[in-house]
Amino acid sequence: MNEHSIRRLVIVGGGTAGWMTATALRQLLYPELSIEVIESEEIGIIGVGEATIPPFRRHNALLGIDEREFVRGTQATFKLGIEFRDWARPGDSYIHGFGTLGLDLDGQPFHQYWTRALQMGVAKDLGLYSFNVLAARQGRFMPTPTDAPKDTPLEDIVYAYHFDATLYARYLRRFAEAHGVRRIEGRIVEVGLRPDTGFVDTLVLQDGRTVSGDFFIDCSGFRGLLIEQRLQAGYEDWSHWLPCDRAWAVPCENVVPPTPYTRATARPAGWQWRIPLQHRVGNGHVFCSRHMSEDEARTVLLENLEGRPLAEPKLIPFHGGKRRRAWIRNVVAIGLSGGFLEPLESTAIHLIQTAIAKLALLFPERDCSEALRNRYNAQMDEEFAWVRDFLILHYHATERADTPFWNYCRTMEIPESLREVIALFSDSARIIPRTDELFKTVSWAQVMIGQRIKPRRYPPVIDRLTDAELTKFVKHVEEVVGSCVAVVPAHEAFIARHCKAPPP
């Protein structure tokens, strides 16, 4: 730290974004930095956002949190992937599993061998070659065992969690406060700017208290209290590509053992999520209000619950898109205030995490140099665009023509960047992910195949194997995956033995 360093960091908002930011920056930045979180219990948090993807585990690792204690403390379950039901055609089901898919050979991804095997008539369902998908289908889970046999999928079991968002925010808050983060309860009613620079200077609370800082992180949720209401960053609206703009959310009773995966079931004007926790199931219906009324969408949700609802459904309106600039002057927006892409692939918490990691690398001095701001904004623009393209793929690559909503999605114009990915895969089963892109070849392959995109051919190098060798290869992979899954305990049994949460 020197005389130009930021000394007071103020985080506005104590939802998942606010507390994740506070806990991570406490670990990643210099100890002299004072960190304060202002939140308003009266406003509360959004309370959804309960399914994660594997990079999330890095956050807990950074904080040194014990996994089993975390699972117990947030009523969490384990997640091996996401099941998509009825997306390409009614009746379809595929799982986008985390981790590996089959076995890459001579530098070529497995799905290309599978494509050839399919054309020869010797390939089975793609999921049978993925440890995560097969284990998910059979309701099994365990983390990587210490005695995993070499060169098998058991050597690195890739997973994430489902957790209770409210318990998670509380959990992080306790951690943050124990590590010196100061929490201020109160509703901010005014945001003061320095006259010379236009930097945010002081926040005025409803009871008249003021909080000053050198640098502010806006985690105030959809309100965008600083970034939009005060600094008017502007919003890039992507609803022409991601037309869903509302969600009804409701928890219900658990009536079956928790599945180790999230489910996303297509509905006439959107889709429904199912997130199993230890003490309840989180459900929501994401829909497009141009194609379905709020009342109808609520009925669709309530008619498709497995158990008794445990609360009144809550309506959450949103717009798919992102802030034009996430960092303006001395304010960075992280979380819903920075943008929102619907929860189909559980990416919002990941976008919080990646924003924090980038900010930690580019954390400025008090002048917040333009070069740093530009770099950060460009990187976040890229992150959002990659996730956006992956989400659009699920809607657009469909054969469904049974409702006006699906007709729109199937025939809509898509971003050029996504069009190129689909064209390359359709031509020759090739997938070349962009550097640093969140979703890698395995994810794109599973979703494109699951959405029934059929490659016309495969790369010529795949013909290096004879027909007999290829048949033997895919059979071998299937057997290895099957034998590995067979030793994994039931998800419910694993939780009961190692991390059962107390009743809520």
Ligand X SMILES: Cc1cc2nc3c(=O)[nH]c(=O)nc-3n(C[C@H](O)[C@H](O)[C@H](O)COP(=O)(O)OP(=O)(O)OC[C@H]3O[C@@H](n4cnc5c(N)ncnc54)[C@H](O)[C@@H]3O)c2cc1C
Q: Which of residues 370-409 bind ligand X (CB under 6 A)?
A: none
Contacts of 71 (CB under 8 A, 6+ apart): 77, 78, 161, 163, 495, 499, 501
By CB under 6 A, residue 450 contacts ligand X: no
Question: From the CB of 358, what's the least distance to ligand X, in Å?
Answer: 16
Locate 258 and state its tokens. 């928790």
Among 22, 103, 176, 219, binds ligand X (CB under 6 A): 219
What is the smallest separation between the CB atom of 183 and ligand X, expressed in angstroms?
Answer: 10
- Minimum Å gap between C-beta 342 and ligand X is 7
Phi/psi at 395 (5° precision):
-80, -40
Q: Applying CB under 6 A, which of residues 305, 349, 462, 477 lies at the interface with ligand X?
A: 349
Q: Of residues 9, 16, 398, 451, which one binds ligand X by CB under 6 A?
A: 16
| Residue 118-157 contact track with ligand X, rule CB under 6 A, x = bound | ----------------------------------------
Q: Where are the beta strands (DSSP E) in 91-140?
A: 93-97
- How far apart CA 500 and CA 76 sit, in angstroms, is 9
Which of 346, 353, 354, 441 binds ligand X (CB under 6 A)? It is 346
Does residue 60 come out as left (phi exceeding 0), alpha (psi in the -120 to 50 range) or beta? alpha
Task: Please name the residues in contact with 420: beta carbons below 8 A apart, sequence gap of 6 or more.
Answer: none
Binding of ligand X at residue 343 (CB under 6 A)?
yes
**What is the Cα–Cα distance from 348 to 126, expressed in whole angstroms?**
27
For residue 170, the tally of other CB atoms under 10 A from its CB is 16
Task: Establish if 247 lies at the interface with ligand X (CB under 6 A).
Answer: yes
Q: How far apart are CA 80 and CA 95, in angstroms?
A: 9
Q: In this structure, are residues 136 and 259 in contact, taking their beta carbons and an 8 Å threshold?
A: yes
Site string for ligand X, 319-338 (x = CB under 6 A): ----------------xxx-
Binding of residue 18 to ligand X (CB under 6 A): yes
Q: Is 50 in the site for ligand X (CB under 6 A)?
A: yes
Q: Is 314 a catalytic residue?
A: no
Q: Which stretch binds ligand X (CB under 6 A): 45-53, 75-83, 117-125, 149-157?
A: 45-53
Secondary structure element (H or E) that encloses residue 174, with its range: helix 165-178
Residues labelled as active-site residues: 79
Task: Please give the residue ranges that form the binding site for ligand X (CB under 6 A).
Answer: 13-18, 38-40, 43-46, 48-52, 165, 187-188, 219-221, 223, 225, 247, 249, 284, 316, 318, 335-337, 343, 346, 348-349, 352
